[in-house]
């Protein structure tokens, strides 16, 4: 069965058409600047050239229409008709406490997702627009929602309750939810497969470090703690997000800079992290280059970022009373050997010993610890789309 995987944002829409039996990508791409001037579709059939179509996309429905047209296009399409799309899998950011697993999308489910909107006001409404747009074009095709938060619903209370008045949890469901669950789940499972160990027996710390970054403690195949919280702002230092800070800083800065809460939030989300510290960039390629050229602020940003990861790995080894595997994934985790080396250098107390030559390689899946390292360290390329396709297939079969 071919499954169309959709990741819909407020002005963008990423897609992959996946043959879920062979687990092969047939075509992929994205629509950019939906609803804004200068919108375009980037479409790439497997093994073919990237094709860029610049055309106004005033709505997400128009964007989905263009994607579907590209998929069935006589010249560059990969399927004969839309009947060959067996199901659509939607990435949904926030499932609150309502969704502990993926689910077939019905009118009731759409309502339940809407009820989670105020937990993720930037993301969930856009995800819902994506669902509606697909329904318009493919009213009879089954659809599945796969939630970023679902994998973390196994966390114990002590990990998800904040030190706040308990009524806020009861009334507003203020608690830790965690994100990147699809990635943490996929990658931790791959680690067990690569090492040929039963998933249920392994204690694994997943470092998903991309522009957005989070760490997850996976004990016996279940998420038991994770660094992002009610929103993706908590935890690690990220490209532009602050991660953990003293909450009192908010009022302090609001007073000093004469800012509203919304303005301070904007700074914490968009102007902080390694971008804020370096003052120049959120991209780790630029950051590394600047450091090489002697830029002290870039170097500081890198080291603050790395130090926070080291602290979280230690915390999660403690939370699980031990750790068997540590795995790096996402843009930085998969590509930045310097970050991996610096993190691992500070984990020798856990029994981590990495092979520096192996760590310098770039492979989708590799073990970078030495054979005698007590804790195995790996790099595993994440594949959230494949995981969404698998979940979708399992539910519509
Ligand atoms: P997100 O999905 O959260 O937007 P990504 O997982 O794509 O983020 O990660 C983006 C980060 O990964 C950037 O800082 C970028 O510099 C880094 N990165 C991505 N690809 C490479 C690469 N080939 N080499 C070095 N760094 C990379």
Q: How far is the CA of 378 from the centre of ligand 1 (A)?
A: 18
Say if residue 207 is in the same domain as residue 342.
Answer: yes
Closest-lying ligand 1 atom to the alpha carbon of residue 209 = 6
User: What are residue 18's DSSP bridge partners?
Assistant: 3, 25
Say if residue 99 is in the same domain as residue 201.
Answer: no
Say if residue 113 is in the same domain as residue 219.
Answer: no
Number of domains in the chain: 2
Percent residues over pLDDT 90 in the chain: 98
Say if residue 117 is in the same domain as residue 16.
Answer: yes
Say if residue 134 is in the same domain as residue 211.
Answer: no
Closest CA to ligand 1's atom 20: 331
Out of 83, 107, 118, 148, pick the active-site residue.
Answer: 148
Q: How far is the CA of 41 from the centre of ligand 1 (A)?
A: 21
pLDDT value, residue 266: 96
CB 137 within 8 A of CB 68: yes
Q: Cα–Cα distance between 174 and 231 in angstroms, integer?
A: 10
Q: Cα–Cα distance between 286 and 34 in angstroms, integer?
A: 28
Render pLDDT for 65-76 as a digit per residue (tens, 0 to 9).
Answer: 999 999 999 999
Number of helical H runs and strand E runs in the chain: 15, 14
CA distances from 330 to 241, 323, 336 (A): 16, 21, 10
Q: Which of 147, 182, 216 is the last residue of a domain?
A: 147
Say if residue 136 is in the same domain as residue 201.
Answer: no
Q: What is the mean pLDDT of residues 292-316?
A: 98
pLDDT value, residue 310: 98
* Cα–Cα–Cα angle for 227, 232, 237, rounded to 5 degrees: 65
Closest-lying ligand 1 atom to the alpha carbon of residue 382 = 6
- Residue found by looking up tokens 């450091």 in the block: 291
- Domain assignment present for residue 323? The answer is yes
User: What are residue 215's DSSP bridge partners?
Assistant: 207
Query: With a 6 A CB cut-off, is 332 part of the ligand 1 pocket?
Result: yes
Say if residue 125 is in the same domain as residue 252.
Answer: no
Residues whose CB falls within 8 Å of the CB of residue 224, separated by 6 or more in sequence, listed in order: 154, 155, 156, 159, 217, 218, 319, 320
Q: How far is the CA of 183 from the centre of ligand 1 (A)?
A: 15
- Domain assignment present for residue 168? The answer is no
Say if residue 24 is in the same domain as residue 129.
Answer: yes
Query: With a 6 A CB cut-off, is 160 part of the ligand 1 pocket?
Result: no
Q: How far is the CA of 334 from the centre of ligand 1 (A)?
A: 8
Tokens of 78: 């990969």
Say if residue 280 is in the same domain as residue 208.
Answer: yes
- Domain assignment present for residue 78? The answer is yes
Which of 91, 284, 359 has most ligand 1 atoms within 8 Å of its beta carbon, as the pocket-test mutant?
Answer: 284
- Domain assignment present for residue 15? The answer is yes
Tokens of 87: 């199901």
Q: Which of 112, 147, 182 is the last residue of a domain?
A: 147
- Domain assignment present for residue 187? The answer is no
pLDDT value, residue 122: 84
| Average pLDDT for the chain | 97
pLDDT reading at 25 higher than 90: yes
Q: Cα–Cα distance between 194 and 284 in angstroms, integer?
A: 28
Q: How far is the CA of 209 from the centre of ligand 1 (A)?
A: 8
- Domain assignment present for residue 394? The answer is no
Q: Which of 147, 166, 186 is the last residue of a domain?
A: 147
Q: Cα–Cα distance between 347 and 353 in angstroms, integer?
A: 8
Render pLDDT for 147-183 as a digit per residue (tens, 0 to 9).
Answer: 999 999 999 999 999 999 999 999 999 999 999 999 9
Domain region containing 89 = 2-147
Which of 93, 282, 331 has most ligand 1 atoms within 8 Å of its beta carbon, as the pocket-test mutant?
Answer: 331
Closest-lying ligand 1 atom to the alpha carbon of residue 213 = 3
Which of 183, 237, 332 has most ligand 1 atoms within 8 Å of its beta carbon, as the pocket-test mutant?
Answer: 332
For this structure, is 364 an active site residue? no
Closest CA to ligand 1's atom 22: 335
Q: How confident is the model at residue 63 (pLDDT cuts 50, 70, 90)?
A: very high
Q: What is the mean pLDDT of residues 101-114?
A: 97
SS percent in the chain: helix, strand, coil, step 5: 45, 20, 35
Choose among 150, 176, 178, 190: nearest CA to 328.
Answer: 190
Query: With a 6 A CB cut-off, is 216 part of the ligand 1 pocket?
Result: no
Say if residue 206 is in the same domain as residue 121.
Answer: no
pLDDT value, residue 381: 98
- Domain assignment present for residue 376? The answer is yes
- Residue found by looking up tokens 């950019």 in the block: 32
- Domain assignment present for residue 192? The answer is no
What CATH number did the domain enclosing 258 receive? 3.30.420.40
8-state DSSP, 179: S
Closest-lying ligand 1 atom to the alpha carbon of residue 286 = 16
pLDDT reading at 121 higher than 90: no
pLDDT reading at 195 higher than 90: yes
Say if residue 124 is in the same domain as residue 204.
Answer: no
Say if residue 122 is in the same domain as residue 245.
Answer: no
């Amino acid at each position: 069965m071919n499954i169309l995987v959709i990741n819909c944002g407020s002005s963008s829409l990423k897609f992959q058409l996946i043959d879920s039996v062979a687990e092969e990508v047939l075509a992929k791409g994205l629509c950019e600047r939906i609803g804004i001037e200068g919108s375009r579709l980037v479409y790439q059939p497997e093994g073919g050239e990237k094709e860029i179509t610049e055309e106004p996309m005033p709505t997400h429905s128009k964007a989905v229409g263009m994607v579907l047209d590209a998929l069935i296009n006589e010249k560059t399409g990969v399927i004969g008709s839309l009947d060959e799309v067996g199901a659509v899998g939607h990435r949904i950011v926030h499932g609150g406490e309502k969704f502990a697993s993926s689910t077939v999308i019905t009118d009731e489910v759409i309502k339940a997702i809407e009820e989670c909107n105020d937990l993720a006001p930037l993301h969930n409404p856009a995800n819902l627009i994506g669902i509606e747009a697909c329904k318009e074009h493919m009213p009879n095709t089954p659809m599945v929602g796969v939630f970023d938060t679902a994998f973390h619903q196994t966390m114990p209370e002590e990990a998800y309750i904040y030190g706040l008045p308990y009524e806020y949890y009861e009334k507003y469901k203020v608690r830790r939810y965690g994100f990147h669950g699809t990635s943490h789940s996929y990658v931790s499972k791959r680690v067990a497969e690569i090492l040929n160990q039963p998933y249920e027996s392994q204690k694994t710390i997943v470092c998903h470090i991309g522009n957005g970054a989070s760490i997850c403690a996976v004990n016996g195949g279940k998420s038991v703690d994770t660094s992002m919280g009610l929103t993706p702002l908590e935890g690690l230092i990220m490209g532009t997000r602050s991660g953990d800070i003293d909450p009192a800083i908010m009022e302090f800065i609001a007073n000093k800079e004469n800012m509203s809460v919304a303005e301070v939030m904007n700074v914490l989300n968009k102007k902080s992290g390694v971008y804020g510290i370096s003052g120049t960039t959120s991209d780790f390629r630029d950051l590394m280059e600047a450091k090489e050229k002697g830029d002290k602020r870039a170097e500081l940003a890198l080291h603050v970022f790395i130090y926070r990861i080291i602290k979280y790995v230690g915390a999660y080894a403690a939370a699980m009373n031990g750790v068997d595997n540590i795995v790096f994934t996402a843009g930085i985790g998969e590509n930045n050997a310097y970050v991996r080396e610096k993190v691992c250098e500070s984990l020798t107390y856990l029994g981590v010993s990495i092979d520096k030559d192996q760590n310098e390689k770039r492979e989708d899946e590799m073990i970078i610890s030495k054979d005698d390292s007590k804790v195995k360290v790996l790099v595993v390329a994440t594949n959230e789309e494949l995981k969404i396709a698998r979940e979708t297939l399992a539910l519509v079969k």
